[in-house]
């Protein structure tokens, strides 16, 4: 029998009671508020309408809320819809340990399964915390080679986190949770080739739905190959996984999820360090700029370096576009800065032709340098997204972002529900009311 040390460790972690973890719980609550805000803001995006149309046609047991739908739907479909639309704006949190979006894969699964089984709010939040932590650990276990080969960690690593969150809420044993991981070895999927299209947010939805599906199947007696993640023909080895067992260090005592980075620009997180850097150099007269250079880690060149985006979606993955927008005074925290019209704006197009993106593998993936060459000389600034941010400051920024998306009254209500450990069904009903 193939040994499964990584799978067994994750399953034991996901089945165990949580002790302490106060700071990790606080960060999870911030991410839950952030998730609610970006999900509500994205619920009318075209991809959300497509997914809801499918859910409406299929119908099914009324188990959980799907945003924008009057009637409840099966938990698996709720996870698919909510996972997709919450990533539709690309405005959700990111973890740079593996370059993935933990919340959009795991929180929809935890909410849907929590509502299906009638779980309390505290249990749902604990399951979500276990899930997001597991997704990061799986992502680091898979490694950068997995991501660089073209796999979208939000979808691949995220599916395992979603499955463990859902399985915990179902009350599965550690052995059953190991089976969930094994089954997800044949179900997890998602490619970076979909970036800039509806396929990218759909990747988050399928991660959430895959997690719910696998947990439900195992709860009903499904018997997969438990080594589906680790053995020679398992998901890891066949998907360029590094198999880094060092990631198990501190599991259950320290929380990698605490280093999650919340977005304060409505575009790919790979662009944010450059946007923070260029902000230090503004304002300038655009007419006086002869060149803009962005120096970034080479990994981002295959992610968010579309030179001439033609749509608002493509604009979210373009250094040239966001540099031009920032210099011209467009607020990249606003959703309406990423439209088809601005992608095709002649003034923006002319300025982005002056942008040059240069790779530098000595830079951290979370950092960037930006220089503006002007008629009167050159200005330069740098920024690293992992610069420590106190929890109170982070909380204030997340709430300000949520208020900009939803309004202060709505955010105050959501914040109370989260703080008071409202049940998943209560949160789902509240989200439907907005």
Q: What is the pLDDT of residues 283-292, one digit of tens each?
A: 999 999 999 9
Question: Cα 316 to the chain's mean position, in Å?
Answer: 15
Backbone dihedral region for residue 39 (phi beyond 0: left; psi -120 to 50: alpha; all else: beta): alpha
pLDDT value, residue 375? 84
CA distances 161 to 14, 115, 184, 221, Å, are 9, 18, 10, 20
Would you place residue 200 in the very low, low, confident or very high pLDDT band (cuts 50, 70, 90)?
Answer: very high
Looking at per-residue confidence, does 302 or 136 come out higher? Answer: 136
Percent of the residues in the chain that have a pLDDT greater than 90, as a whole number: 94
pLDDT value, residue 1? 61
Would you place residue 164 in the very low, low, confident or very high pLDDT band (cuts 50, 70, 90)?
Answer: very high
Taking residues 413-428, report their average pLDDT: 97
Q: How far is residue 421's CA from residue 428's CA, in Å, rounded to a whole number?
A: 13
Question: Cα 112 to the chain's mean position, in Å?
Answer: 17
Percent of the residues in the chain that have a pLDDT greater than 70, as a whole number: 100
Q: How far is residue 367's CA from residue 387's CA, in Å, rounded to a whole number?
A: 9
Measure the CA angle with vertex 227, ends 222 and 228; round to 5°: 70
Taking residues 10-24, report their average pLDDT: 95
Question: Cα 310 to the chain's mean position, in Å?
Answer: 24
Taking residues 15-38, report their average pLDDT: 96
pLDDT value, residue 196? 80
pLDDT value, residue 433? 85
Average of per-residue pLDDT values in the chain = 96
pLDDT value, residue 174? 98
pLDDT value, residue 3? 84
pLDDT at 111 over 80: yes
Taking residues 21-50, report their average pLDDT: 97
Taking residues 41-63, report their average pLDDT: 97
Is the peptide bond prior to 283 cis by the omega test (within 30 degrees of 0)? yes
- 397-406 per-position pLDDT tens digit: 999 999 989 9
Taking residues 368-374, report their average pLDDT: 97
Would you place residue 20 in the very low, low, confident or very high pLDDT band (cuts 50, 70, 90)?
Answer: confident
pTM of the model: 0.90
Q: How far is residue 212's CA from residue 232's CA, in Å, rounded to a whole number?
A: 26
pLDDT at 198 over 90: yes
- 245-259 per-position pLDDT tens digit: 999 999 999 999 999
Phi then psi for residue 233, to 5 deg, are -110, 20
Would you place residue 2 in the very low, low, confident or very high pLDDT band (cuts 50, 70, 90)?
Answer: confident
């Amino acid at each position: 029998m193939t040994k499964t040390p990584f799978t067994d460790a994750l399953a034991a972690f996901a089945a165990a009671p949580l002790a302490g973890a106060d700071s990790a719980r606080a960060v999870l609550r911030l991410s839950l508020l952030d998730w609610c805000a970006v999900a509500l803001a994205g619920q009318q995006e075209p991809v959300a309408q497509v997914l809801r149309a499918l859910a409406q046609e299929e119908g099914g047991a009324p188990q959980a809320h799907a945003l924008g739908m009057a009637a409840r739907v099966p938990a698996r479909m709720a996870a698919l819809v909510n996972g997709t639309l919450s990533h539709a704006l690309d405005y959700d949190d990111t973890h740079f340990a593996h370059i993935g979006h933990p919340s959009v894969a795991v929180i929809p699964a935890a909410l849907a399964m929590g509502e299906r089984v009638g779980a309390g709010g505290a249990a749902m939040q604990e399951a979500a915390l276990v899930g997001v932590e597991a997704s990061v650990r799986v992502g680091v276990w898979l490694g950068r080679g997995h991501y660089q080969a073209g796999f979208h960690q939000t979808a691949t690593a995220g599916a395992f986190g979603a499955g463990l969150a859902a399985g915990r809420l179902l009350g599965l044993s550690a052995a059953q949770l190991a089976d969930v991981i094994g089954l997800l070895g044949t179900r997890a999927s998602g490619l970076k080739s979909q970036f800039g299209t509806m396929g990218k947010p759909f990747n988050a939805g399928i991660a959430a739905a895959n997690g719910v599906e696998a947990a439900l199947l195992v709860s009903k007696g499904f018997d997969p190959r438990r080594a589906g993640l680790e053995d020679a023909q398992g998901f890891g080895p066949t998907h360029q996984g590094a198999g880094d067992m060092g990631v198990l260090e501190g599991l259950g005592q320290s929380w990698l999820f605490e280093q999650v980075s919340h977005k304060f620009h409505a575009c790919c997180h790979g662009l944010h360090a450059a946007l923070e850097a260029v902000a230090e150099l503004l304002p300038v007269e655009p007419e006086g700029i002869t060149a803009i250079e962005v120096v970034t880690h080479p990994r981002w060149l295959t992610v968010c370096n579309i030179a001439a985006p033609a749509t608002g979606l493509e604009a979210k993955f373009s250094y040239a576009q966001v540099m031009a927008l920032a210099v011209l005074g467009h607020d990249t925290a606003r959703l309406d800065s990423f439209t088809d019209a601005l992608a095709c704006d002649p003034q923006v197009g002319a300025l982005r032709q002056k942008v040059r993106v240069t790779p530098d593998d000595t830079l951290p993936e979370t950092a960037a340098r930006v220089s503006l060459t002007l008629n009167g000389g050159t200005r330069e600034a740098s920024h690293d997204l992992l610069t420590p941010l106190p929890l109170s400051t982070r909380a204030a920024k997340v709430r300000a972002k949520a208020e900009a998306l939803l309004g202060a009254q709505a955010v105050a209500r959501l914040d109370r529900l989260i703080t008071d450990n409202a049940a998943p069904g209560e949160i789902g009903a509240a989200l439907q009311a907005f």
